[in-house]
Amino acid sequence: MSGALLLNPEQADRHARVIFYLDNSNQIVFTDRRRLGALWLVENEQPIIGKLGPEPLNPEFKSDILVKRLQKHKAPIKAVLLDQALIAGIGNMYADEALFAARIHPLRKTNSLSPQEIESLHKAIIDVLQSAINSRGASVDTYKRPKGELGTAHSNFCVAHRGGKPCPVCSAPIQRLAIRNRGSYFCPNCQKP
Ligand SMILES: [Zn+2]
């Protein structure tokens, strides 16, 4: 995930993609240097939202829903976690953190995961996202809070964006590999293939 929604930024932003001029004279600026964001203007949001998978922090998102959704897929679990049509809202860094917390290698074939592993992953996804919200997001890249402050979730990261640094559990150097063009960080010792 990249980009940010800023409220009344003091300086012009050359990466501003959309500026909303509100009736109360506030401005909301969508800034997105990496151009990964998307915006729809629709009268009926269902055709857009209907394509998204379940929201992990919804109380109805139980581990059996995740088991059912994952068991048909052969692709690497890291790629599947980023598929917003399967589960909504898991960004690249949070997928790395959840896989580390569940001790699952990012290249594991999704349909090779046991129900117990998916149960651990289910818990890890919720914990990682909730903790990131509590820390107001991660500002390793371009993300900022609406008034320009940085989030602090990245200071708790175990593997994401920590290539070469020691694993907090076993001290092995964190490795990085590209999976479907997204950088993926993992501990080669804690997350066996
Ligand atoms: Zn480790």
Distance CA 147, CA 9 (A): 7
Ligand 1: centre distance to CA 40 (Å): 41
What is the pLDDT at residue 83?
A: 93
Ligand 1: centre distance to CA 172 (Å): 6
Give the tokens for residue 142: 């371009």
Ligand 1: centre distance to CA 97 (Å): 12
What is the pLDDT at residue 155?
A: 77
Domains of the chain and any CATH numbers = 1-39 (no CATH), 52-186 (1.10.8.50)
Q: Write down the residue that tokens 């050359």 correspond to.
A: 14
Q: Detail the DSSP E strand segments found in the chain.
A: 4-7, 16-21, 27-31, 175-179, 182-186
Ligand 1: centre distance to CA 24 (Å): 51
Ligand 1: centre distance to CA 147 (Å): 36
Ligand 1: centre distance to CA 165 (Å): 11
Ligand 1: centre distance to CA 137 (Å): 24
Ligand 1: centre distance to CA 174 (Å): 8
Distance CA 187, CA 170 (A): 9
Ligand 1: centre distance to CA 159 (Å): 9
pTM of this structure: 0.83
What is the pLDDT at residue 66?
A: 93
What is the pLDDT at residue 142?
A: 66
What is the pLDDT at residue 135?
A: 75
Ligand 1: centre distance to CA 34 (Å): 31
Give the tokens for residue 167: 């694993």
Give the tokens for residue 189: 């010792």
Ligand 1: centre distance to CA 44 (Å): 46
pLDDT, tens digit only, all 193 positions of the chain: 567 888 998 888 888 999 999 999 999 999 898 887 888 889 998 888 888 899 999 999 999 999 999 988 999 999 999 999 999 989 999 999 999 999 999 999 999 999 999 999 999 999 999 998 887 777 666 677 777 777 777 778 899 999 999 999 999 999 999 999 899 999 999 999 9
What is the pLDDT at residue 79?
A: 96
Ligand 1: centre distance to CA 99 (Å): 12
What is the pLDDT at residue 49?
A: 80
